[in-house]
Structures are given as C-alpha cells and as structure tokens.
Amino acid sequence: MTLGIMQPYFMPYIGYISLIKHTDRFILFDTVQFIRHGWIERNRMLKQNEGWQYIQVPLIKQDGRDTLIKDIRINNKEDWKRKILAQIQHYKKVAPYYRRVVALLEDIFANDFEDITTLNKVSLECICKYLGFERNLEIFSQMHLDIDAANAPDEWALNICKAIDGATEYINPIGGLSFFDRNKYENAGIKISFQQMEITQYSQKRDVFEPGLSILDVMMWNDVDEINTMLDKFELV
C-alpha cells in the first residue's frame, strides 16, 4: 500500500492533486506548527489582464507562534467566500470551464467551516470527485495512531508508515529529495519515492504562461480528461 502525507493545503497546485490520485491512502498532516502566509490558507490564481493574485481564507489571530495547524480557526466574520468568487469572476469572459468551477466552489462554500483543516479536506475531496477519482482523505490528528517520536524531521512520515498495517511505500514531492534519508526507510522495509511532475503548459489566453497556480486555474481552462492526462505525467525517482 502506497501512502502520501502532506500538510492540508488550500486549493493546491496540480502536483498535490496528482499525489493524491497516485497513492492508496492520503493523510493530511495537521499536528505540526502552522506557518502563516504559506499554502495552508491561500493559493494563487490569475489576476485580470496580467500576473497573479492570492485567494485567501482569513484566520482568527492566534496567541503565540506554536499553534498547530489542527487548531487554526477561520475568521467567518469576514465574507471570504464571496470575496474569492469575486476575485475569479474575470475568468468568466475567457475560461471555457468557468461555470463548472464556480458551481463546484459554491457547493463547497455551501458548508459551514470552523477550522482550516476541515475546509481543505472537503475541498480536496470535492476536487478529486470532480476529476473522476473519489478519495476519502484522512486527518492525522483524528486517526489516533500510536507512533514513535520523531528524532529528525524526515522521520514523521516514516513513523506514520510503520504504524499503518500494510504500508509498503511512501511517495513525497520531489522537493524533499535532499531532505529525506532513504536508508532509514529502506531499513524499515518502506520504499520511498519522490514524484517529479512534468508541468504541462496550457492556454491561459495571455502572452506569458503562469505556472504553478492553484488546481482551480487548471480546471478553468481544461476538461477533466485533459487534466487527468496532466496528473499522470510524472516520474518517480
């Protein structure tokens, strides 16, 4: 059984979605320190005319710097759902799948969310279903696994794998290639691989292609079959 373990990102880029598709179980790792202005509460979409902009979920300010992701609450006093929909309205005139994407977002936003992890879990599951592969993502803090303490940052994933019956392989994005000690995993009987995505350019109806945007941008411009072809373009190293 292949595992993927990532922090719960908000409407992430295509590589994150590819990792979900190509693992047997995917765990949202929410018991680490929250770093503000990362990818937990925001992502990037095209800005009208040129460049990109952040779409962002407002959060309730936390006391101290040691708040875990699982404890991060959404500031629902702000009308953030309406703001996000307004920010992407410029796609309406040019993007062929705008209405489908907005309908999906409206379905997601019809729910009430108090914490960022649950919002991101539901959003990711809805996106996967839209793309034709349903997934039940697991939230680490709710799994109540009995795992060994990590003595190094690259041991969290290893210890989670060791605690899950049947786990034989762990896949991580390519960015962690120099971060992980392969020998630790191999000695524990866990194969570790790194996913190198082949990023496909697609028409954004502008002169300069903006790579690495939210999966929502990919969905605006491409049909489901085209997106799945992109999701399948990677190499494991």
Report the pLDDT value the prediction gives residue 231, as an integer from 0 to 100.
98
Query: pLDDT per residue over 134-178, tens digit each?
Result: 999 999 999 999 998 889 999 999 999 999 999 999 999 999 888
Instruction: Determine the pLDDT at residue 165.
Output: 94
- The mean per-residue pLDDT over the stretch 127-131 comes to 98
Q: How far apart are CA 97 and CA 81, in angstroms?
A: 19
Q: What is the pTM of this model?
A: 0.96
Confidence bin at 66 (pLDDT 50/70/90) = confident
CA distance 72 to 32: 11
Residue 35: pLDDT band (50, 70, 90) is very high
pLDDT at residue 64 greater than cutoff 80 = no
- The per-residue pLDDT of the chain, averaged, comes to 96
Say whether pLDDT at 65 is over 80: no
